[in-house]
Amino acid sequence: MAGTSNDNLRNSMRNSGWPEASPATERMPERLTERSGAGGHAAGRRWPTHVRVGAALAAGAVPVALGAWLAPWWPVAWGAQSLWPTLAAVSAGVTYATLRKTLLQPLSAVALRTGLLADPDAASASQSRDQVALLGQQMSQAHERLRMLEGALEAGHSELRRLAMADQLTGLPNRRLFGELFDHARATALRQRHPMALLYIDLDHFKQVNDTLGHPAGDELLLCISQRLRDAVRESDLLCRLGGDEFAVLLTPVAGVELLAQAALRLIHAVEVPVPLGQQGASASVSASVGIACFPRDGDTLELLLQRADQAMYQAKAAGRSRFSIYRPNTTDEDTSTPLSGDMRLHWQPVIDTRTGQAVSAEALMRWQHPREGLLPPARFLGKVEAAGDMPKLGRQTLDEACAQMARWKASHHSPAQVSVNVSASQLRDPGWAQALDESLRKHGLLAGELAVELTESSLMEDAETVMPQIDAMHTLGVSLMVDDFGTGPMSLARLQQLRPTRLKIDASFVQRLPGDPRALAMIDGIVRLARSLDIGVVAEGVETAAQRDALHGLGCHHQQGYLFGAPRAPLDEPDWPVGPSINKASNRPIAH
C-alpha cells in the first residue's frame, strides 16, 4: 500500500511536468508514509492515501529538510556548543519559513484539492487516484500552455527586434544593425590586423525613376538592386540600406587596392543591368556612384568612415557618375607647399597592343611627393597649381622630364615607340608652348613622332582662337595629338575633323561597363568605326579585367591601357613591359618628323 502511494505521488509529480525528482525528494515520500502511520488514522478515520501524503508532507518534511539544511553547520555548532541551541532555533525558523512558502503551501493546496476530489463517501480509492492523475494532467497541460505562451512571446520579441533592425522594403540590415555588425567586424579587424573598406553606394538620378514610372516601380527597382548588390559581395562582407537610394557595403578584409577597385566595379555593374518592371515588359536602368573610405586609414568609427565615403561618393558624382572614387583627405588651408617647391616625378603606364601583348607606348603621369602626405596624383594638386598660375612652368618641366626618360630608354634599347604627356588648356595659352616642345625634342635627341600630347575634349573645345594655332604648330613639328577622355566631352565632329588627332582615348567610364552593358558596347563600337573611317587610331583606357580586354579586342580596339596591363609606376631603366613594334607601325601610320 505504501509503495502504491509513493508511486502515485511520483507519477502525479511526473505528469504535472515538474522536474524529475532528485534523490532527496525521491526518498521523501517513503519517510513521510512511515510517519503517516499514526497521522493517517486521525479522529479514528483512515484518510485516502493522497490526503495522508499531503498531510505527511506538511508534518514530516520539516525535520527531514531541516536536518538536511543544517547538516553543513553541525561541525561548527559542535565546536561552540553554547551557541548550538540559538543557532538551531534560528536555522529552524528560517528553514521552516522558506519551506512553508516554497514547498508546503503548494503541496497543501494540492492535498486539499485532491481531498475534495476524493470524497471518501462517494468515490472509491481508484476513482480518487484517477482524479489525482487528472489533476496532474491538467497541471501538466497548463504548464505546457505556459511554455508555449513564453515561446510565442519570445518569438514575437525577436521578430520585433528584427523589424527594428531590418529595412522594411529590402529586408537588408538597416543603419542601426549595420552599426552593431560594424562593431564586431572592427574588433576582428583590429585583432587580426587587417584593413576594411566602406563603400557608399548612391544611385544616380533615381528620382527620375519615381517621377516617370511611379513610386511602386521605384520600390521594385530598389528591391531588385538590393538583391543584386547582395549577390555581388562575399558572405563575409556586410551590406545595408542606409535609406532612400543609398546602400553601404563593408568589405572585410580587403586585400589591396586592386581588389577593392574590382569589388567597386562589380557593384557598379550589378546596378547597371536593366531592371525588368511590372508585367508589360517595361524596364528601367540606373547607374551608381560609389565612394570608398578605408579603415583604419580614413577613420576609426563608422560615422567617420560613412562621412568620408560619402564625400568620395560626391566626388564620383562630380566626375561624371557611374564610377567610384576613393577618399583622399584634402590638404589643409595652411598648407602652403606647392608641387614646384616639392618633389615632382613622373610615373609611367604602358599602352599594350592586345594582338602582340607588347607595349606600344607609355603615358607619363605626374606625381608629387608631398612633404607630409606622400605621393599624390594630379587630381590632388593640379587645381592648386592652376590657381597659382604655375601650370605652364610645371607643364614644361614635365615635358622635359618625359623627353629625358624616353632618351634614357632609347639609349638602353628598351624604349616603347612613343611616350605621351598630358597637357592642360592653360598650357596651350602659353604662347611659347610649341617652341618649348621643339626645344625639348632637340635637347634630348628625340624624333617628333616619338612624342604624343594628350589633351581632353574640353581643353580642346576652349577658345578656338588660342588652341588651334598651337595644335597647328604641333602638327607642323610632327608631334602626335591624342584626344583624352573621348566620349565624355562636348566635342563636335566638325571640330574633330579640324583637329586631326592621331588617336582617340576612349574614356574609362565606357570601358568599365563592359562586357555586360550593350549600350557601352554599342558606343565603343561606334567610336572605333568612326575613328577608322577618319584614319584615326583608338586606345581604350581603364581596362581592368580580362573580360573588358576581350570585349574591346572583339570590337577591333587593340590598343589598351589599364591596371590589367600595369599600374602607373616609377620608371625602371629597363621597363618590365614587353616593348614591341612602333605604335605607328601597328596602326599603319607613318611617324612624322
Ligand X SMILES: Nc1nc2c(ncn2[C@@H]2O[C@H](COP(=O)(O)OP(=O)(O)OP(=O)(O)O)[C@@H](O)[C@H]2O)c(=O)[nH]1
Angle, helices 125-165/2-15, rounded to nearest 10 degrees: 20
Nearer to ligand X, 27 or 205 (CB): 205
Which runs of E-coded beta strand occur in 430-579?
A: 451-456, 480-486, 503-506, 537-540, 559-560
Distance of closest approach, residue 451 Cβ to ligand X, in angstroms: 40
Nearer to ligand X, 309 or 471 (CB): 309
Nearer to ligand X, 244 or 556 (CB): 244
Distance of closest approach, residue 313 Cβ to ligand X, in angstroms: 9
Is the separation of the CB atoms in 219 and 171 below 8 Å? no
Distance of closest approach, residue 233 Cβ to ligand X, in angstroms: 21
Nearer to ligand X, 311 or 426 (CB): 311
Is the separation of the CB atoms in 555 and 528 below 8 Å? yes
**Runs of H (alpha helix) within 166-192:** 175-192
Nearer to ligand X, 277 or 496 (CB): 277
Distance of closest approach, residue 203 Cβ to ligand X, in angstroms: 5
Exposure b/e, 131-163, CB count within 10 A at least 16 = b? bbeebbeebbeeeeeeeeeeeeeeeeeeeeeee
Q: What is the distance of C-alpha 98 from the center of its chain?
A: 57
Nearer to ligand X, 30 or 211 (CB): 211
Specify burial of residue 228 (Cβ count, 10 A radius: 0-12, 13-18, 19+): middle
What residue is closest to ligand X based on CB? 218
Distance of closest approach, residue 169 Cβ to ligand X, in angstroms: 5
Q: How many CA atoms lie within 13 A of 7 on its CB side?
A: 5
How far is the CA of 158 from the CAs of 162, 171, 180, 207, in angstroms?
6, 15, 16, 35
C-alpha cell read off for 389: 598660375
- What are the φ/ψ torsions at residue 543 (nearest 5 degrees)? -80, 120
End-to-end CA distance of the chain: give it in Å, rounded. 124
For residues 163 and 180, what is the distance between their CA atoms, to the nearest angstrom? Answer: 15
Distance of closest approach, residue 286 Cβ to ligand X, in angstroms: 8
Cβ-proximal residues to 21 (8 Å cutoff; 6+ apart), any chain: 10, 13
Distance of closest approach, residue 288 Cβ to ligand X, in angstroms: 9
Distance of closest approach, residue 181 Cβ to ligand X, in angstroms: 22
How far is the CA of 436 from the CAs of 387, 413, 439, in angstroms?
22, 26, 5
Nearer to ligand X, 219 or 472 (CB): 219
537: left (phi over 0), alpha (psi -120 to 50) or beta: beta
Is the separation of the CB atoms in 586 and 580 below 8 Å? yes
Nearer to ligand X, 114 or 287 (CB): 287
Residue ranges that bind ligand X, judged by CB under 6 A: 169, 202-207, 210, 215, 218-219, 222, 244-245, 317
Is the separation of the CB atoms in 166 and 41 below 8 Å? no
Give the residue carrying C-alpha cell 607630409. 372
Is the separation of the CB atoms in 435 and 404 below 8 Å? no
**Runs of H (alpha helix) within 193-331:** 206-213, 215-232, 257-272, 302-318
Nearer to ligand X, 219 or 386 (CB): 219
Nearer to ligand X, 224 or 261 (CB): 224
Helix (H, G, I), strand (E, B), or coil: what is residue 75?
helix
Nearer to ligand X, 165 or 579 (CB): 165
Nearer to ligand X, 222 or 239 (CB): 222
For residues 262 and 232, what is the distance between their CA atoms, to the nearest angstrom? Answer: 11
Is the separation of the CB atoms in 368 and 343 below 8 Å? yes
Nearer to ligand X, 148 or 163 (CB): 163
Distance of closest approach, residue 526 Cβ to ligand X, in angstroms: 26
Distance of closest approach, residue 552 Cβ to ligand X, in angstroms: 28
Distance of closest approach, residue 309 Cβ to ligand X, in angstroms: 15
